[in-house]
Amino acid sequence: MSPHAPNGAIDYKTLVQDDRIHASLYTDPQIFDDELERLFRRGWVFVGHASEIPGPGHFVTRRVGTEPVIMVRGKDGGVDVLVNRCMHRGTMVCPADHGSARAFTCPYHGWTYDVSGELLGVPYPGGYTAFDKSAHGLTRAPRVSSYRGFVFASLSAEGISLAEHLGAATRLIDRSCDLSPAGEIELTAGWVKHRCPANWKALPENDSDGYHLGFVHRALFSTVRSQYQRVVGDEKTIKAVVRDWGNGHIEIDWSPGYQGPFEWLGGVSGSTVADFVAALERRDGAEVTRRRIFEGPAHALIFPNLFLGETNIAIVEPISVEECVHWHTPMFLKGVPEFRSRLLRMAEAGMGPASFLMPEDLTVASRHQLGLHARTAPWLELGRGLNSERVDGEGRTGAHVTGETTNRALWRHYRAVMTEA
């Protein structure tokens, strides 16, 4: 079947069904262009974390969809997201990944902008008549908002608020931040990037898919002991669950299978842990602290591009319909420097270029992309666990970790956004 309606538009209601989706969603260039407009320009997209730009003039460069942007700390301490494009002839004004600057100067013709994006000057101004510098500043993202240091931007002046977009999923971010006695995380170790020959949606889907672990990551489980060991084996003994938090935000919760505190941190103990626990108890009390150190940080997707990977944070960046970049960095707990070395080593072991998890996931994603071009079998099945889902007291739909509840939740929200008027 063709994904196109008779008028040339994409028929998303047909392509995304309750228990199956069409392969063209991963391979059609027009669908990719629609996503850039509806999901990445009009919606809320994670750009970076406030800890990456600690003082005025500090910046990082990212992309909102395929749009290059600069996230920068202004002179007033606020955070701006500027389009990384000179208003003269379109050259990228800031090529660096991160740094500190008093101004941004275009390398092509020397137009210079301050860190708020205002045009400071142009060389040889005599070549212009009645030139209004105030009308030639860098374009700002119309809406920038943050939650607990996580900075999001929308390239549309209209739409729902960030609070509405996040909804109840703020609790997933809270779960990570509240592990710090200071109530904050820090992303200061730098980012590792993996380029992947696959559609961008394959990676956030995979990050919250509990069905693949015993197969894609078999080498890991046969080599390294970890908390994930209990999600393979007999189906009836696996206790981890998946949840739909609404608005495309989805989670795997490993904690029902944990047998003690700090399994998410490799089962640490000793005086360092005792001091950490004491600091949390002073803030939250003993009962809440016991729950926090048992459950650990969230393993969840904040739609569309932010992955809370327990002790890591990841970003998915679309490049083209069949290519994307996966970014990751360790999540440090502010005020707990004694955990940093362990968290860095865990990031390297789990998601680095010589690790098990990330290379295995990227390899499968690339093979998945190749298989999607088999036109004789265009449908992908998403019906696993459909009849065993349950709604908890908070209205969240959940299921056994091997169910496809998270996949269906992601695609259900995708369909809603892609069919909005």
Residue ranges of domains in the chain: 45-158, 168-266+293-418
Convert the pLDDT of each residue in 328-381 to its tens digit: 999 999 999 999 999 999 999 888 888 888 889 999 999 999 999 998 999 999
- In angstroms, the Cα distances linking 125 to 102, 109, 116, 121, 322 are 22, 12, 22, 8, 44
| CA dist., res. 189 & res. 128, Å (int) | 45
| CA dist., res. 145 & res. 122, Å (int) | 31
Rg (CA), the chain: 23
pLDDT at 31: 98
| CA dist., res. 252 & res. 172, Å (int) | 11
Stretch among 232-246, 274-288, 326-340 having the lowest mean pLDDT: 232-246
| CA dist., res. 328 & res. 352, Å (int) | 9
Convert the pLDDT of each residue in 79-98 to its tens digit: 999 999 999 999 999 999 99
pLDDT at 332: 98
CATH superfamily of this structure's domain 168-266+293-418? Naphthalene 1,2-dioxygenase Alpha Subunit; Chain A, domain 1 (3.90.380.10)
Is pLDDT of 199 > 90? yes
Tell me what the pLDDT averaged over the chain comes to: 93
**C-beta of residue 1 within 8 angstroms of C-beta of residue 8:** no
Residue 39 confidence class, pLDDT cut points 50, 70, 90: very high
pLDDT at 340: 95
Convert the pLDDT of each residue in 394-415 to its tens digit: 999 999 999 999 999 999 999 9
Q: In terms of C-beta density within 10 A (0-12 exposed, 13-18 middle, 19 or more buried), how is residue 37 classed?
A: middle
Stretch among 107-116, 219-228, 249-258 having the lowest mean pLDDT: 219-228
pLDDT at 229: 58
- Return the structure tokens found at 22: 């069409």
pLDDT at 22: 97
Work out the average pLDDT over 221-241.
71
Q: Vertex 155, ends 26 and 171: CA angle to 5°?
A: 75
382: nearest Cα among 18, 3, 15: 18
pLDDT at 14: 97
Model pTM score? 0.95
Is pLDDT of 200 > 60? yes
Is pLDDT of 421 > 70? yes
Residue 231 confidence class, pLDDT cut points 50, 70, 90: low
Residue 345, H or E segment: helix 340-351
- Is the dihedral angle over the CA atoms 32, 34, 35, 36 positive or is it negative? positive
Q: In terms of C-beta density within 10 A (0-12 exposed, 13-18 middle, 19 or more buried), how is residue 171 classed?
A: middle
pLDDT at 225: 64
Report residue 88 CA to chain centroid gap: 33
pLDDT at 270: 78
Q: Which residues does 21 contact at the CB level (< 8 Å), separation at least 6?
A: 15, 379, 380, 382, 411
In the CATH hierarchy, which top-level class contains the domain 45-158? mainly beta
pLDDT at 393: 92
Residue 219 confidence class, pLDDT cut points 50, 70, 90: confident
pLDDT at 352: 84
Stretch among 61-65, 139-143, 254-258, 332-336 having the lowest mean pLDDT: 254-258
Work out the average pLDDT over 145-166.
98
Work out the average pLDDT over 225-239.
69
Is pLDDT of 389 > 90? yes
Beta strand 45-49 pairing with 150-154: antiparallel
Q: Which of the two residues, 261 and 226, has the higher pLDDT score?
A: 261
| CA dist., res. 415 & res. 143, Å (int) | 24
141: nearest Cα among 92, 69, 88: 69
Q: Which residues does 148 contact at the CB level (< 8 Å), separation at least 6?
A: 170, 173, 174, 177, 183, 184
Residue 289 confidence class, pLDDT cut points 50, 70, 90: very high
Is pLDDT of 241 > 70? yes
Work out the average pLDDT over 276-289.
96
pLDDT at 187: 98
pLDDT at 180: 97
Residue 220 confidence class, pLDDT cut points 50, 70, 90: confident
Work out the average pLDDT over 296-313.
97
Kindly write down the DSSP assignment for every residue of 27-96, as one continuous string.
H-HHHHHHHIIIIIISS-EEEEEGGGS-STTEEEEEEETTEEEEEEE-TTS-EEEEESS-TTT---S--S
- Return the structure tokens found at 362: 């990227």
Residues paired with 4 in a beta bridge: 10
